[in-house]
Amino acid sequence: MKFAGVPLAIFIIVLVVPFVNGFYYSFTDWDGFKATKLVGFANYTESFEDPRFWSTLKFTALFVVVSLILVNAVAFGLALIVTSKLKSKNFLRTFFFVPNLIGGVILGVIWQFIFNSALVALAEKYDWEMFKESWLQDTNKAFWALIIVTIWQSSGYMMIVYITGLISIENDVIEASQIDGASPVRTLFSIKIPLMAQAFTIALFLTLRSGFMAYDVNVALTGGGPFRTTELISLHIFEDAFAEGDFGTGQAKAVIMFLVVALAALVQVTISKRYEVQR
């Protein structure tokens, strides 16, 4: 099987080499073409002295936490609905999953039209105070706009993860709890959720990761505006490097992003694993 070396070589060239280069460049005076000397932690101190980087980090952290909670709460609710005894459950599942098929950029521009034009036009017509000015013109409201679109986009996917968890629970365990007189709510919290903890580990990991990496919806919905106040970390790095040409600090920020993602994922998985029941 000598051909197995081909994908491995491509993997190293495309992913490993730039990744290692990135670490190295972040300690040099790299300008995108050549690095002449090592500069120690200068790029990192410069990153942390950039007030906009701090506000991006805060904005990203808030986005990750809020989207993580809401996406998973909604997705779990959807999974409960489509695993119930309803006749229409397959039909409903189809609808909930559709936004997930479509790329974040297209979803983002659809909602840009909704917030900037459709809702504003309707607000004029029916006199709705809260939509008269586009939500995307205000930093706080734009944050919630990002959250709404993210829930709409990701909950269908996480729903599938939770469905897989819910249907993996043996029926006799649930029947036993019902015979013992447990209410449906009690069965849910004391039997179902502990037995499907693995699904939560996976879904939380996936939402955590996609929260940190969110770029498409951000660029298409708010574009970082108004005045770069709704920039998530990915867009911030992109703008730094490709719009402003700050390659050294841009790469230092990218390394910081990697460390934050890796650490957050490690902490989340360790905590979640503790709740998993061994069967």
Region 89-108 residues binding another protein, contact defined as CB under 8 A: 89, 91-99, 101-107
For residue 59, which of 226, 202, 203 has the smallest C-alpha distance?
226
By the rule CB under 8 A, 85 interacts with another protein:
yes
H helices present in 103-246, as ranges? 104-113, 119-126, 139-167, 171-179, 184-187, 193-195, 197-213, 216-221, 233-238
* 136, 146, 204, 255: which one binds another protein (CB under 8 A): 255
Q: Which residue in the set 265, 268, 272, 276 belongs to the binding site for another protein (CB under 8 A)?
A: 265
Q: Which is nearer to another protein, 143 or 151 (CB)?
A: 151
Residue 211 near another protein by CB under 8 A: no
- Find the binding residues for another protein in span 119-178 (CB under 8 A): 121-122, 125, 152, 156-157, 160-161, 163-164
Q: Is residue 7 within the footprint of another protein (CB under 8 A)?
A: yes
227 binds another protein (CB under 8 A): no
What is the nearest approach in angstroms of another protein to the Cβ of residue 223?
A: 9
Could you give the dihedral angle defined by the CA atoms of residues 250, 251, 256 and 258, in that order, rounded to the nearest 10 degrees? Answer: 120
State in angstroms the smallest separation of the CB of 95 from another protein.
4
By C-alpha distance, which of 248, 257, 256 is closest to 37?
A: 248
Give the Cα separation of 247 and 231 in Å (integer).
18
Rule CB under 8 A: say whether 25 interacts with another protein. Answer: yes
**Unique residue bearing structure tokens 């108004």:** 226
